[in-house]
Amino acid sequence: MTLATFLSAHKKVTRSLRNLIQDYQNQLQADQFEKFLGSLNDALLQARTEILRAPAGPERARLLHKMIDQEIRQSTKVSTTCQKGCAACCHMEVEITSDEATILGELIDNGLAIDTERLALQAARPAQSTGWQERMKSTTNRCVFLNSENSCGIYDSRPLMCRRHAVTSPAVNCESFGSEISTLYFPRVDLLISAANEDNQLKVGPMAKMIVARN
Ligand code: SF4
């Protein structure tokens, strides 16, 4: 399979999976690379069939979360420096899907108390606003689901971007923008997200905007 054929069949592959494909293209002989693309195509189609079997909406998002958790559990051999309560990553802009926005919106509609003023302030920011660079220095950056103990208050329902974030550099580096942060890369997780993105109805955007927009 050629790269052009692969990319035209899978237009929604994540940026990191594209980078991985690029690395393989640089390292492999042309025929080996085509075989690699063929296997990747098969794996994407299989994952897509499995994910799209669940009805669109929260049920599909929950299935994807389960698959991602399982993948991460199986592939983590290096220990991370993430600890309960460090929470710097919960002061960054997090992207979620429209299905995840429905899950989070339902929690709020069912009585989960959050700071709605802060949510509105975050939602009003342009995507990738420089305000997020202040990280923990700005209380406005605090995720509305982060509880008073600096733990995720919706851990079982947290978005996939929170699930896949696994840091190996010193936790203190996460607190300041521009510090070097190393994260673990899970190729199968990228593959699952790419497969799920092939649902054309699915939208992706900053968490606060997506939650507010669902109303
Ligand atoms: S949803 Fe939970 S894990 Fe994700 S940023 Fe918010 S508090 Fe942190």
Q: What is the residue extent of each domain of the chain?
A: 56-213
Global confidence as pTM: 0.91
26 three-state secondary structure: helix
Average pLDDT per consecutive 10 residues, the chain (215 residues; last block may be shorter): 94 94 96 97 97 94 96 82 89 95 96 96 93 90 95 96 93 89 93 94 95 86
Distance CA 132, CA 91 (A): 7
Judge whether 32 and 67 are in contact, CB under 8 Å.
no
Residue with tokens 């220990």: 79
Ligand 1 center from residue 115 Cα (angstroms): 14
- The CB of 164 under 6 Å from ligand 1? The reply is no
- The CB of 103 under 6 Å from ligand 1? The reply is no
Distance CA 187, CA 138 (A): 33
Residue 143 CA: nearest ligand 1 atom is 6
- Chain centre to alpha carbon of residue 18: 16
pLDDT for the residue 215? 64
pLDDT for the residue 135? 87
- The CB of 94 under 6 Å from ligand 1? The reply is yes
pLDDT for the residue 75? 82
92 three-state secondary structure: coil
